[in-house]
Amino acid sequence: MQREQYVCIVCGFNMVGYFVGKCPFCGASKEKFITSEECSARFTVKGFSVNKKITRLNSVPPLGLEHSAYRVETNNKIYLIDCPSSFDNTLKPMDFIIFTHHHFLGASNQYREHFSSEVRIHKLDSSHKICHAFTFDGTFEENFILDGIEAFHIDGHTPGFTFYIFEETLFICDYVFLKGGKMLYNPFGPAKETRDGGRKLKSIIRNRKIDLVCGYNYVEDFTNWKKKFNNLCP
């Protein structure tokens, strides 16, 4: 049964089953909320090819703190890594939605219901209060490999932050920001733990063959990205 749902146009957070005075994610006032139906009418989700198996998904026009989700087409299943904030039923059906962390849940509940997708997130992030209205079909605590997608939990920005590698592509979401030609750790989280997670990331990717990095608002050649990351995490 469909529940009422609202979207904050400042940050893109979806409020499932309730209407509150302030956005629980960014604190914007209720005047900045629209219904999910209006959101779908105003914001479509467009795909931009990264390579033959990966597509970058963005709301058009940009919605709030616009972030990219990524569709990964493995040999067996179709995955979304993170989820668009706007629900668009014209997207290619996905079998799984897997999250880097709980900040970009988007309209995952609607995609799950419409496409019968399975939604997974790290257990530590699933317990956050902003997740309570969302359904997760599974939580994980250990690193895993699923249809060639490798998951690595590094903590830091959020307790359950998990990055992914598929073939030669790294999916790092917003663990680091690119700004003015430099790289910065995401400041919205515990600084020490985020730096520690950066060192874990560096250790894991040190001897990996990686060509591309997919971030929350960019796709960059790994060689260029790595130079900035090495300056950030020497």
Question: Can you give the C-alpha Rg of the chain in angstroms?
Answer: 17
Cα–Cα dist 115/29, whole Å: 32
Total domain count, the chain: 1
Q: State phi, psi for 38 to the nearest 5 degrees.
A: -65, -40
> pLDDT value at position 1?
47
CATH code, domain with 65: 3.60.15.10
> pLDDT value at position 176?
97
> pLDDT value at position 189?
93
Q: Which of 99, 88, 162 is nearest to 134 (CA)?
A: 99
> pLDDT value at position 91?
97
Q: Which position has the higher pLDDT, 60 or 20?
A: 60
Q: State phi, psi for 142 to the nearest 5 degrees.
A: -115, 160
Cα–Cα dist 119/109, whole Å: 9
Query: With 80 as the cut, is the pLDDT of residue 228 above it?
Result: yes
Residue-number span of the structural domain to which 171 is assigned = 5-232
Query: With 70 as the cut, is the pLDDT of residue 2 above it?
Result: no
pLDDT in tens, 87-126: 999 999 999 999 999 999 999 999 999 999 999 999 999 9
